[in-house]
Amino acid sequence: MVEYSGRLEFLRRSLMEWFRRSGRKFPWRGEVGWYGILLAEFLLVRTRSEVAERAFHELLSRFPTPENLCSAGVVPVREIFERIGLPSRAERLVTTVCTILREYGGRIPCDYQELLKLPGVGDYIARVVLSRVCGKHVAFVDSNVLRILTRFLGARLSVTKAAELLERYIPKGELLYVNVALLDLGALVCKPRKALCYICPLTPRCSTSSGTGSSLSRSETLRLRVVLK
C-alpha cells in the first residue's frame, strides 16, 4: 500500500495557510444550523456559488425557519429554485425539512443511513451534514476535491478512496477546515481545464504540476482519468 502521510501532511499545512488568506466567504459557512446547511447544499447542486448565494439569501429572507418553509409548501419555494434551473429540488427540500420536523423532532439525524432516507440527500450531502452539523470526522468529496487529490498524488482515486485518505491522514479537528479549503482551491486554482499551477500552494509536491505552467497538459489529464465507484 502506498504511504501518503508525508504528502498529505504537506497538503494540510499548505492548504490551511492558503485558506486563511484566500478562502471564499459564504453565508452558509457561518453558524446557520442544519437548516441553513441543507438549504445551501440543495442549492449548490450544479449551480455556481454566486448564483446559489443569491437564492440562499432569498430563501432565508422568505422562510427564516424550517417551520416557515414547511408550512409554506412547495409552490413558493419552487419559484426560487426555478430561477436557478432546479425546480425539482424544491419539492425534495420541502419534503426533507418537513420530515425532519415531524419524524425527528426538528433535529437532523446524525446517522448516515437515516440521512440517506431523506429525499434529495445522497452520499455527499449526508457526509456534509455528518461533518458540519454532527461534528463527525467525515470527509465529503465532490469533483473539486477528487480532482485535486488525483492530480496531487498522481493516482487514480475513487470518491470512497479519496474520503478514506482524508479521514486517515488529516487530524481530527482539522478535517472540516481542510475539506472546505480543497473545495475553494478546486474552484479558484486547480480548475478542470486550466489549472493555475503557478499560484497553487500545492505545486512544490504536486505529481502533475509543471511548477510554472498555467495548466495541465492533455496527456497528463488523460493519464489521470478518474475512476469513480
Catalytic center residues: 41, 124, 142
d(CA 92, CA 56): 16
Q: What is the largest CA-CA distance in the chain?
A: 55
Q: Strand ranges (DSSP E) for 92-131? A: none
Q: Are the CB atoms for 133 and 33 separated by under 8 Å?
A: yes
Residue 141 Rama label (left phi>0; alpha psi -120 to 50; beta):
beta
Residues near 49 by beta carbon (within 8 Å), at least 6 away in sequence: 24, 26, 187
